[in-house]
Amino acid sequence: MSRTLVRRAFKYRFYPTCAQAMELSRTFGCVRLVYNKALAARVEAWNCGQRRVTYGQTSAMLTEWKRREELTFLGEVSSVPLQQTLRHLQGAFGNFFAGRARHPRFKSRKKSRASAEYTRSAFRWRDGRLTLAKMNEPLAIVWSRPLPEEAEPSTVTVSRDAAGRWFVSLLVETSVDHYPPIATAVGVDVGVTTLVTLSTGERIANPRHQQKDQERLARAQRTLARKRKGSANREKARRKVARLCARTADRRRDFLHKLSTRLVRENQTIVIEDLNVSGMLRGGRLARLISDASWSQLRSMVEYKAVWHGREVIAIDRWFPSSKTCSACGLRVDSLPLSVREWTCRCGAVHDRDVNAAKNVLAAGLAVTACGDGVRPTRHSLARQPSQPPFRG
């Protein structure tokens, strides 16, 4: 059986001591400050003289910032996370100029994710115990699943979410077994009421995790709005809202992991539609339901798991009329409103809208592959061309 060598992150929850929590909180603040100052320097250099600032130049700036009296606290935390955030900024600009992402934005203390990345020189891994730089005790990690045997982390990312939970992500290099080859192929049509409809006729209902806790979340948000800004009670109310949101996100992620694993395990070829999900979320009555369904997250999981286990994913054109085409005779109807869930073709075939679409998605994907012009999953550009960078001062 063949295997694939992959870099895989294992995320665990941990419970820091008071001293560790204070040290990590200081590190998060310094990482955010360095990122924002470096980004501001890059923006100013471009606005003033159309100059691009490199990683090496921002690294020299960091050394200079540490010498300032008002920024001496930058030298009290580990230097590795500060250097790593400069590398992340360099990568963000690289993606921006390559047209793969939007222009980097400044990090907010309240809204941005609090995290810090440590490389091998800034942590000690010994006998399954992880100790970070500037700390005397190892982290109290809850090992919810074992690490691969003889795997040693190359980088460690520590984060704290809005609900106050602490997580550590260990990046290791490990091998993943390919599933045995099979002759099964499936077309996948995503929806709101039914999350996934397969070309086999099977339907997988949308759990609607957000809707289940919508009343509790709305009540908690109203309570938060009544609290005085800056008070301890407002912070307690904010944490309650964050915990409800985190609970919904955890349930959704767990469900999508199980669904994507099943699709990859049971099928050699998976055909999907290249939907413009971000465009669908910009407006309309279904925006909240589409967001709760997380089609993009499901697609991402299917794609990387297929690569790991030797499967194939094919994405067909988003403009392909899968719902309006008869899967029996190929006739295309002119109009088919969303309210029409079942229709009859002139050939006499009676179609369920979603099952028919999934069958057409599968046929289109297999036809393109048979012609030797396989369509691979592609992400559409979110950024403007590098010749017109929207820098802001």
How confident is the model over 366-386, as a mean pLDDT?
A: 53
Q: 3-class SS at 380?
A: coil
pTM of the model: 0.85
Q: Are 359 and 187 in contact (CB under 8 A)?
A: yes
| pLDDT for the residue 277 | 84
Catalytic residue among 23, 117, 273, 274: 273
Round to whole Å and give the CA distance between 17 and 292. Answer: 35
pLDDT tier at 1, thresholds 50, 70, 90? low
Spatial CA neighbour of 204 closest among 181, 185, 186: 186
Mark whether 189 is an active-site residue. yes
Catalytic residue among 274, 292, 303, 354: 354
Mark whether 354 is an active-site residue. yes
Q: Given a cut of 50, is residue 392 above it in pLDDT? A: no
Q: Given a cut of 70, is residue 389 above it in pLDDT? A: no
Per the prediction, the chain carries an average pLDDT of: 89
Q: Are 86 and 54 in contact (CB under 8 A)?
A: no
Q: Which two tokens stand for residue 359?
A: 């069958």
Mark whether 273 is an active-site residue. yes
Catalytic residue among 23, 117, 189, 303: 189
